C-alpha cells in the first residue's frame, strides 16, 4: 500500500512540475528580436479561437492539444513560440524540447515581461 501511495505522489509531482515550474533559459522577447536568430519560425500554440483574432502572417498555427500529433509539420528546428498563458508555454517548450526543437524565445498573449516594462520607464 505504501508503494502505491509513493508511486501516485511521484506521478502527481511530475505533472505539477511539468505544468507549473518555469522552463529556464528561454527568454521572453519580441518577434522582431527572434527573426535575426538562426532563421527561426513563429509557432502559435494558442487555441484556434484565440489565434484567429490576432493572426500573424508568417506563423504556423498548431494548438497545444495537437502539438504531439503534428510536430513533424514544423519545418525548422529553431522556434519562436506564442502562447496564451504560462502553463501553455511551459508545456509547449518542454514538449518541443523533447522532440529535438530549440525554442529561442516566447511571447505570451498578455505579456508582462520585465524587460518591456523597463523600456517603457
Identify the CATH number of the domain in which residue 20 sits.
3.40.250.10
Query: pLDDT at position 58, please?
Result: 80
The predicted-structure confidence for 3-62, as pLDDT tens digits, reads as follows: 999 999 999 999 999 999 999 999 988 777 766 666 788 999 998 887 777 766 788 999
Q: Taking a C-beta distance cutoff of 8 angstroms, is the pair 72, 46 a contact?
A: no
Q: Taking a C-beta distance cutoff of 8 angstroms, is the pair 103, 90 a contact?
A: no
Q: Is the pLDDT of residue 103 over 90?
A: yes
* Count of domains for the chain: 1
Owning domain of residue 19: 2-120
Q: Taking a C-beta distance cutoff of 8 angstroms, is the pair 46, 83 a contact?
A: yes
pTM reported for the whole predicted model: 0.81
Query: pLDDT at position 38, please?
Result: 67
Amino acid at each position: 500500500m505504501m508503494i502505491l501511495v509513493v508511486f501516485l505522489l511521484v506521478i502527481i509531482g511530475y505533472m505539477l512540475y511539468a505544468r507549473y515550474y518555469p522552463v529556464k533559459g528561454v527568454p521572453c522577447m519580441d518577434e522582431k528580436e527572434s527573426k535575426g536568430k538562426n532563421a527561426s519560425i513563429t509557432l502559435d500554440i494558442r487555441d484556434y479561437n484565440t489565434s484567429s483574432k490576432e493572426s500573424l502572417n508568417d506563423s504556423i498555427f498548431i494548438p497545444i492539444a495537437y502539438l504531439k500529433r503534428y510536430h513533424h509539420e514544423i519545418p525548422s528546428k529553431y522556434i519562436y513560440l506564442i502562447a496564451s498563458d504560462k502553463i501553455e508555454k511551459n508545456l509547449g517548450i518542454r514538449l518541443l524540447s523533447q522532440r529535438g526543437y530549440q525554442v529561442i524565445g516566447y511571447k505570451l498573449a498578455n505579456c508582462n515581461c520585465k524587460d518591456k516594462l523597463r523600456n517603457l520607464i
